[in-house]
Chain A
Amino acid sequence: DAGVTQSPTHLIKTRGQQVTLRCSPKSGHDTVSWYQQALGQGPQFIFQYYEEEERQRGNFPDRFSGHQFPNYSSELNVNALLLGDSALYLCASSSRLEAYEQYFGPGTRLTVT
């Protein structure tokens, strides 16, 4: 039973560029959440996708956007990258029957130079 997978593992981008991160949820899960973890901090909630729509959003600017596909996989897009966007981006999946229990992927390390 595959867990949550994310790609790529690492990514280096330049300020002003755009980036797309990808996530496949755990088998049987239909909900995907994205979190940003800056160095030395706890994860911060970006948004959650369910039934291909953004269900809830954290305190992040519109430069952060996402998408969920019919197979429940998801993408996180960040436009106009800033140095402060450098972080570990974590994807978590859950099921609507057990929405409180989120399973995390290994993350994508984004470095903006």
Chain B
Amino acid sequence: AQSVTQLDSQVPVFEEAPVELRCNYSSSVSVYLFWYVQYPNQGLQLLLKYLSGSTLVESINGFEAEFNKSQTSFHLRKPSVHISDTAEYFCAVGPGAGSYQLTFGKGTKLSVIP
């Protein structure tokens, strides 16, 4: 069975400040890890993914996440946030061997304060 825990339901941060959104996962098989972003009244957009190889993955808009197998974590970071980053962020695990589903955390609402 797979599960995802997002440790913070809401994160307020001032514009141009750094941010970290925390994600821990549980899986009995090799994992694929994802961060999705959801803007108000929209669907999910893939932000970045870890499949294999380098444990540090980056997105085109300045976010990065690091896969830490020993701590079963996949925290999302950005060194300087913008107003436009205000959204809800979901961490997900899977699909894995024998399973085709994504398992999501409950989400973290990032609010960027001007």
Contact = CB atoms under 8 A, between A and B. Distances in A.
Interface stretch (B12-20, B58-66, B67-75, B101-109): B101-109
A44 B103 CA distance: 7
Q: Which of B4, B90, B95, B100 has the most CB of A within 10 A?
A: B100
A93 to B, nearest CB: 12
Interface residues of B, number: 23
Nearest to A105: B43
Interface in A73-113: 90, 92, 99-107
Q: Say which size band chain A's interface belongs to.
A: 20 to 34
Contacts of B94: 100
A42 interface: yes
Contacts, number: 58
Nearest to A42: B104
Contacts of A50: 100
8 contacts: A33-B100, A40-B107, A42-B92, A43-B90, A45-B103, A99-B95, A100-B32, A104-B36
Interface of A: 4, 31, 33, 35, 40-45, 48, 50, 55-56, 58, 90, 92, 99-107
